[in-house]
Amino acid sequence: MALTLLCLSFVVFILLGVPVAFAIGMSCLLAYGVEGAEKAFMLHQTFGDAVMTTAAGAFQTMISGMNIFSFLAIPFFIFSGELMLHGGIADKIVNFARNLVGHWRGGLGLANVFACTMFGGVSGSPVADTSAMGGVLIPIMKKEGYSADYAVNVTTHASLSGALMPTSHNMIIYAFAAATASGMIGDNVIKGVSIGDLMFSGLIPCFWIMTCCLAAAYYQAVKFGFPKSADGVSMVKPFPGWGVVGKSFLQAIPGLMVVAIILVSVMKGIATATESAAIAVTYSLLLTGVIYRTLTREKLLKALARAAKTTGVILLLIGVSNMLRFQMTWLEIPEAMSDALLATTTTPWLMLLYINIIQVFLGIFLDMAAHILITAPLFLPLAIKMGVGPVQFGVMLLLNCALGLVHPPVGTVQFVGCAIGEVPIGKVMKTVWPYYLAIWTAIQLVTYVPSFSTWLPSVINSHPVF
Amino acid sequence: REFRSADVHAKDYPTNMAVAFMGDQLKTASGGKDRIKVFGDSMLGSEKDTVEQVKIGALDMVRVSTAAFHGIVPESMIPSLPFLFRDIEHFRKTMYGPAGDKILAAFEKAGFVALCMYESGARSVYAKKPVKSPADMKGMKIRVQQSDLWVSLVSALGASPTPMPMAEVYTGLKTGLVDAAENNYPSYDEAKHYESAPVYSETMHVMSPEVVVFSKKVWDTLTKEEQTALRKAAKDSIPYYVKLWEAKEKESKATVIKGGAKIVPAAEINKAAFVEAEKPVWDKFAATPELKALVQEIVNTK
Amino acid sequence: MQWLTAVNSRLSRWAMWIASACIIGLVINVDYGVIMRYGFHEAPPFMEEVALLLSISVAMFGASAGVRDAGHIGVDSLVGLLPEKPRFWVGVCAGSLTGLFALCLLIGCSVMVTETYEHSIPTLGISEAWRYIPPIIAGVLILLFSIEHLIAMFKNEKVVASWH
Ligand code: NA
Ligand code: NA
């Protein structure tokens, strides 16, 4: 009864257009209500008492789900990303990438991939990355002889690295969702997941995506002859000279340093992964406020307000997802799910294929944070049984979610990209396949080659990582 | 009826096995009417969360460390006082006896029915170097739980208490963010802390017990027979637990030694110096006459 | 409606100020903790608990503002396909559900305040009930904001966002 109500009401609320957080919250409240009624009957409670106990139980779970120290990294990363964007760091990164490879065939496309990957380490998420880099680059690309759909596809896909680079708040959300993971891989006891390990696990896949996006951008530039004028004349620009490249590099370096600062402060024992996010904010404030002096009072307030609102939206989602996790545990859904899947196959590669397919499918409808919070507890226990540890699974899940971000109907990154490029989603979808291929190969490598994601953290942190 | 019980440990951990055993006893006693279902692995939330769920009656029972009650029931701090127990025999005699019952009874006025306590061994300090006396700990950053008692306990030794979530401790020990941490053998083993801090000095400073707690709101709706059966099942689960716990502790100790940990045995520790340094902590946390009397009763038990 | 809009836009702006101040407080608190621990071997024990109280405030005030400025993520592409009349009523349904959620939040967290009143937060020594104050305020705010949205819908108007 509670289970049916939970699933059915969730689908109905989502279709009604209720924001995801409130849809999850309300359908969980219905499930809590059913159990509350049963319990009230058993304990001979009055109606009022039953409502109060049930609501208290539900919201205790919600608030405690939000009340976790690692989540501080979310406002911090969003805030520092906003500071970097409004403080002019984004422009400097674009400038450098453009000077470096802008003179090649499809040069601005390649520059875009570089810039997005670099800023991916600075911003907290692919959405931030797309709005920062796309906001600067897409208009320039359109003006200098690239089609709008090309400009948008390059930006949105290269931005997905924002989900895997060290400032990723989605990684923090995953670490929370996987905190209760437990099991054995070989002789190794698995218990939760370390954010420190996760931080390094995404770097190689990120590099892979960058390389594939570069290839895709180059391939399409050659195929369509970008950059070209409206009447088809090539518009390739001359190389500005190493002096200019060097100068723009020096200007971009302080902005890029934020990644290094985060990684070093964790590795040297100065701060925990969570605290390093506060250091990143302080650095961004000093850089934009004192050194560049690009940060006005107006811009600071805007960055603060946006950070607060985004944090609120994400943390509320996390809170209600904790209610959902509680209900799923109560109703024993993960066990039922895993039994059902195990009944179809016990071959690890096939099972992992199923998990990937389901995750990509869910990514069509769900936004990243909701996707992570809902699917990690469902599939991680199963993945561990198949020999895939929480770190490897995390990268796999983040990539699957990332693919969902550039997928209609709910592709947040695609929305942002298309809005900036002023181009309909249908047009973008026609030339998207080389980029999908790039993400897809990354997913396959992460799924079937464990060391692709686990080798780097295990070398750097010198202990086995799964 | 099915009572649902929460725990943060894995399904096969002694605490979970003991509560499940309690459930079996209860089922037999009630002729199959009452059962206990255990949710392990923090599935229903952290210790603090589940305690609050029990308080409002949304959850029936929970097994947590007494540390989770430090801010709720002052008496729960008493068994966590440093060097209160001379050895594990002393602990068993008092905590499974009248002094323990007094502590359990104190939960009632905070809205909980405490059924029984379980031992969880002795907590000791581990670091990259041996710790034999408080002098060795001077200036060391020691990871502690979020608790006033633990902060005072470590400060009293001249070390620097560093509260930090458990999940960050492994990396923290490795990178030197903290120099040491403290825990019992099974936690030292399961969190793999021996890989980052391989010297375990058996300071055995605290023997804080686990506690099984029932919701007062639910308890009051049970019949007298049900209540008696639950209390009896809880008491009966203690010997069963102790056997499992001893095996677990032994197994963990063997694992960490195999994993390369060096043990500094209790005999090499300057215990007198430690005890002397911790005296002010007793005065601070056993401040009222009632708490002082309770401490005295425990100390006087031979 | 006019007075509700006036009150709400003011409340929403106040919420923004508080949330922004809390973010700055968070940064200072965590930086202070890191400096004291790394530089002076004196980790402030209260750092984590203060940070948690501040972050719950940021989240709850930010989330309420998200309701007024329609910032929460939803799937409305399917609703967009409906003809005007049903689309209107679907919108009313969705708005009321948000309000209902806020009402439950208000009730649930008020009960939690009374239940945890006597528990104290370790290392801070203040009541655990403080943790549930920001969500109660958020419950009131979200309720007011969703009422404003509903009225605006019936009057065929739009709520003007008061945040950036
Ligand atoms: Na990032
Ligand atoms: Na999607």
- Whether the pLDDT of residue A415 is over 80: the answer is no
Whole-angstrom distance, CA of residue B110 vs CA of residue B217: 12
Considering only residues A422 and C50, tell me which one the structure prediction assigns the higher pLDDT.
C50
**Mean pLDDT computed over every residue of chain A:** 86
Whole-angstrom distance, CA of residue B22 vs CA of residue C145: 50
What digits encode the pLDDT tens for the residues A293-337?
888 999 999 889 988 988 888 888 888 888 988 888 888 887 888
Res B41: pLDDT: 80
Residues in chain A: 466
The shortest C-alpha distance from A371 to chain B (Å) reads 19
Q: Does A362 touch chain C (CB under 8 A)?
A: no
Please tell me the number of the ligand nearest to residue A117's CA. 1
* β-sheet bridge partners, residue B129: none
- B206-218: buried (b, 16+ CB within 10 Å) or exposed (e) per residue? bbbbbbbbbbbbb
Q: How far is CA A92 from CA A64, A86, A251, A254, A280, in A?
A: 41, 12, 6, 10, 18
- Whether the pLDDT of residue B17 is over 90: the answer is yes
Considering only residues B251 and A233, tell me which one the structure prediction assigns the higher pLDDT.
B251
Candidates C69, C104, C131, partner chain A, best to mutate (most A CBs within 10 A): C104
Whole-angstrom distance, CA of residue A457 vs CA of residue A446: 14
Mean pLDDT across A183-205: 82
Bridge-based pairing of strands B160-163 and B141-144 is parallel
Residue at B8: amino acid letter: V
Residue at B102: amino acid letter: K
What digits encode the pLDDT tens for the residues A347-400?
889 999 999 998 888 887 677 877 887 788 889 988 998 889 999 999 999 999
Res A409: pLDDT: 66
Q: Look at A191-200, B240-249, B261-270 and tell me which has the smallest mean pLDDT.
A: A191-200
Mean pLDDT across B253-270: 92
CB contact under 8 A, B46 and A64: yes
Res C164: pLDDT: 58
Candidates B148, B149, B152, B157, partner chain C, best to mutate (most C CBs within 10 A): B148
- A341-377: buried (b, 16+ CB within 10 Å) or exposed (e) per residue? beeeeeeeeebbeebbebbbebbebbbbbbbbbbbbb
Instruction: Answer whether A98's CB lies under 8 Å from A111's CB.
Output: yes
Whole-angstrom distance, CA of residue A91 vs CA of residue A81: 13
Considering only residues A362 and A245, tell me which one the structure prediction assigns the higher pLDDT.
A245
Whole-angstrom distance, CA of residue C148 vs CA of residue C141: 11
Res A50: pLDDT: 85
Question: How many helical (H) and strand (E) elements, i.e. helices and strands, does chain B have?
Answer: 12, 11
Whole-angstrom distance, CA of residue C62 vs CA of residue A36: 30
- Whether the pLDDT of residue C163 is over 70: the answer is no
Quickly tell me which residue has 């309701």 as its tokens.
C67
Nearest Cα to A440, choosing from A165, A157, A172, A225?
A157
**Mean pLDDT computed over every residue of chain B:** 92
Res C73: pLDDT: 67
- Whether the pLDDT of residue C75 is over 70: the answer is no
Res A29: pLDDT: 94
What digits encode the pLDDT tens for the residues B175-197?
888 999 999 999 998 878 888 89
- Whether the pLDDT of residue B60 is over 80: the answer is yes
**Token pair for residue B88?**
């594990």
Share of residues in chain A with pLDDT > 90 (%): 27
Whole-angstrom distance, CA of residue B19 vs CA of residue A369: 36
Tell me the pTM. 0.85
What digits encode the pLDDT tens for the residues A115-133?
888 878 776 678 878 877 7
Euclidean distance between the first and the last CA atom of chain A, given in angstroms as a whole number: 38
Q: Residues whose CB is under 5 A from ligand 1 (ion)?
A: A 162, 165, 167-168
Res B302: pLDDT: 83
Bridge-based pairing of strands A188-191 and B262-264 is unpaired
Instruction: Answer whether B121's CB lies under 8 Å from B242's CB.
Output: no
| A203-224 and A107-122 helices, crossing angle to 10° | 160
CA B72 to chain CA centroid, nearest Å: 16
CB contact under 8 A, A309 and C34: no
Instruction: Answer whether C31's CB lies under 8 Å from A278's CB.
Output: yes
The shortest C-alpha distance from C123 to chain A (Å) reads 15
Please count the residue pairs, one from chain B and one from chain C, whose beta carbons lie less than 8 angstroms apart: 53
Whole-angstrom distance, CA of residue A94 vs CA of residue A136: 8
Euclidean distance between the first and the last CA atom of chain C, given in angstroms as a whole number: 23
Whole-angstrom distance, CA of residue B239 vs CA of residue B217: 28
What digits encode the pLDDT tens for the residues B148-185?
999 999 999 999 999 887 777 887 888 888 999 999 99
Share of residues in chain A with pLDDT > 70 (%): 99
For residue B213, the surrounding DSSP H or E stretch is strand B210-215
Res A124: pLDDT: 66
A414's CB contacts (< 8 A; 6+ apart) are A152, A156, A405, A406, A407, A408, A425, A428
Res B124: pLDDT: 95
Considering only residues B246 and A77, tell me which one the structure prediction assigns the higher pLDDT.
B246
Provide the chain A residues 158-187 that lie in CB contact (below 8 A) with chain B.
179-180, 182
Nearest Cα to A402, choosing from A444, A464, A359, A451?
A359
Whole-angstrom distance, CA of residue A339 vs CA of residue A343: 6
Strand order in the sheet with B35-39: B35-39, B2-6, B61-65, B210-215, B112-118
Nearest Cα to A77, choosing from A168, A202, A199?
A168
Q: Does C137 touch chain A (CB under 8 A)?
A: no
Q: How confident is the model at residue C113 (pLDDT cuts 50, 70, 90)?
A: very high
Whole-angstrom distance, CA of residue B146 vs CA of residue A298: 39
Q: How far is CA B285 from CA B290, C12, C47, in A?
A: 12, 45, 22
The shortest C-alpha distance from C27 to chain A (Å) reads 6
Contacts of B151 in chain C (CB under 8 A): 45, 123
Do the interacting molecules here have an ipTM over 0.95? no
What digits encode the pLDDT tens for the residues C31-72?
999 999 998 988 898 999 999 999 999 999 999 988 888 767
For residue A153, the surrounding DSSP H or E stretch is helix A148-158
**Token pair for residue A143?**
């003006």
- SS3 label, residue A234: strand
Nearest Cα to C119, choosing from B73, B216, A65?
B73
Nearest Cα to C52, choosing from A72, A279, A78, A281?
A72
Q: Does C27 touch chain A (CB under 8 A)?
A: yes
Whole-angstrom distance, CA of residue B80 vs CA of residue B78: 5
- Whether the pLDDT of residue B120 is over 70: the answer is yes
Quickly tell me which residue has 């198949």 as its tokens.
A386
- Whether the pLDDT of residue A144 is over 90: the answer is no
Res A414: pLDDT: 85
User: Nearest 10 degrees: CA dihedral of C111, C113, C116, C117?
Assistant: -130
What digits encode the pLDDT tens for the residues A434-446?
999 999 999 999 9
What digits encode the pLDDT tens for the residues A13-24?
888 888 888 988
- Whether the pLDDT of residue C14 is over 80: the answer is yes
Whole-angstrom distance, CA of residue B284 vs CA of residue C2: 58
Res B115: pLDDT: 97
